[in-house]
Amino acid sequence: MKKIKKVLSFLTAAAMLCGAALPVEPIMQMGTMITAHATKILGTCGENLTWEYDTSTKVLTISGTGEMEDYDIINSHYAQWWQYGDDIERLDIADSVTHIGDGAFYKCTSLTSVTIPDNVRSIGSTAFTYCFSLSTVMIPDSVTSIGDSAFYGTSLTSVTIPVSVTSIENAAFYGCTSLTSVTIKNPDCVIYDAPGTICNDEHFNAVNGYHAYVFSGTIYGYDDSTAQAYAEKYGYAFDSLGNAFKLGDVNLDSNINAGDAAMTLSAAAAYGATGSYGNLTATQIAAADIDENGSVNASDAAYILQYAAIKGANGKEFDIRKLVK
């Protein structure tokens, strides 16, 4: 019996050193027979991240802080939970995760909805490729980029891409056959210049020998935005959300408040130190320039705060330019 315990201890230690996934349930001894009753499998998926899959609840949990590991599916380097992809029904991703790894949830075919945590800054290439059942995704304002083929072949019906997203890469929403509505809130978002970046169908032209990519839904965006330019270039339906910005709405969330004033003040400080307005887009800089003098400074922030205070007192919107002396 002591020999058995020593062998088990050695194997467990060796497996952990090799980064192998281990069953959480203890190995039970039944006479000379050894059987494993595992309901939870776990491992690591980043420098400070761990994963745990519960085979009974079919929930995959990502815990810890920081970026997920990137996986190279082209060269068959899959996430450790890949073998359970057909069974995983739900993802629980910690709020402190900052990056969804390349290929992380490739072929998790039973996932139906995903909520990306509020601190995630990037969604990696092929992150949700071939998640055939995925019909709903919530993308938070923290995300700045959506990688190549990130949602390739999913069952998304509609998606809203927040103003924080500055780039949508090649084939990000390719082959999403149920997709009818894409809303792009950043008027300056860089959309990969190809018809297959957003498409829900393709047709093979036997005469010319090429594939024609089609999006039969509607792209929503602001007037004179990159979304409009993309839709018009490839003959996709476009519906306007109106003017790209209104003065004072620096974060483009359709409200003017202290948060916009803080962004304006921060941008002004950044310009004084570095000669640039930090991460503000051209549209946001225009929204912050309340006196429309071509620069963003503390006076603009003060106008925004004054506007927020007046509106808060009487509940009525008005033209913020009336505050400019």
And the tokens for 228? 């409009």
pLDDT at 145: 97
pLDDT value, residue 12: 39
* Averaged pLDDT in 10-residue chunks for the chain of 325 residues: 40 38 37 48 94 95 97 93 94 97 97 94 97 96 95 97 93 96 94 96 66 90 94 96 87 90 94 91 90 92 94 89 86
- Residue 201 CB contacts under 8 Å (≥ 6 apart), including other chains: 177, 213, 214, 215, 216
Confidence (pLDDT) at 3: 41
Strands of 55-121, DSSP E: 59-64, 66-67, 90-93, 97-100, 113-115
Domain regions of the chain by residue span: 258-323
Coil, strand or helix at 78: coil
Q: What is the pTM of this model?
A: 0.74
**Which residues, in sequence order, are CB contacts of 78 under 8 Å at separation 6+?**
71, 103, 106
Give the C-alpha distances (Å, rounded to integers) separating 160 from 19, 107, 175.
37, 23, 17
Round to whole Å and give the CA distance between 41 and 19.
12
Q: Give the residue carrying structure tokens 């004084």.
A: 272
Q: Is 230 helix (H, G, I), strand (E, B) or coil?
A: helix
